[in-house]
Amino acid sequence: MVNFNLKKAQVSVEFIIIIAIFLLVFYSMILPSINFAESVVTDVYSLVQTKNNVSELAENLENLSNSAGYGKRQIFFYLPDNAYILGCDETTSPNKILAKVNISSQNAVNSFCNNEGICDINVPIYTNFDLDCAALSIGYKGNLNIEKTATGQIKFEK
C-alpha cells in the first residue's frame, strides 16, 4: 500500500515539473510579442494624441486670428511624454506648427517617421497674420496662452 502511494506522489511531482517547463517555454515565446504590441500601441497613442492636440491648437489659433479685434484665450494643452513642439514655420504657405514624436525602436509606424524613430507632425494654420510660436518641451501638460495683439500678431506661450 505504501509503495503505491509513493508512485502516485512521484507521478504528481513529474506532472508538476512538466507543466512548469511547458509554462516557462510558453512564457518565453509570448513575452516578446506582448512587449512588441505594447510598444506599438504606445507609439500609435502618442502619435494620435500629439496630432489631435496640435490640430486643436491650430484650430484655436485660426479662430482667434479670424475674430475681430484682439484678445486672449487660455487653453489646456497636453503632449505625451515623448512629443514636443519646435515652433511655427512661417516660410511655408500655409504656416505650420512643427511637432516631433520620438517612437520606440520597434519602428512599426513608418508613414511619416524616419529611421531614428522621430516622427514629424506638421499641422497647417490658415491665417493671414504673423505667428509667434513658443517651443514646448517634451511631455508638456498645462495651460497655453493664445494672444492676438492690436497689430494682428498671433502668439502662443506657456
Q: Which triple of cell numbers denotes residue 4?
A: 503505491
- How many structural domains are present in the chain? 1
Which is nearest to 142 in space by CA: 22, 71, 57, 51?
A: 57
Domain that includes residue 28, residue range? 2-157
pLDDT at 43: 85
Q: What percentage of residues in the chain have a pLDDT greater than 90?
A: 6
Q: Which of 4-8, 26-30, 31-35, 107-111 has the lowest mean pLDDT?
A: 107-111
pLDDT at 107: 60
Q: What is the pTM of this model?
A: 0.74
Contacts of 79 (CB under 8 A, 6+ apart): 49, 50, 53, 85, 99, 136, 138, 139, 140, 141
Q: Which triple of cell numbers denotes residue 80?
A: 505625451
Place of cell 502668439: 155
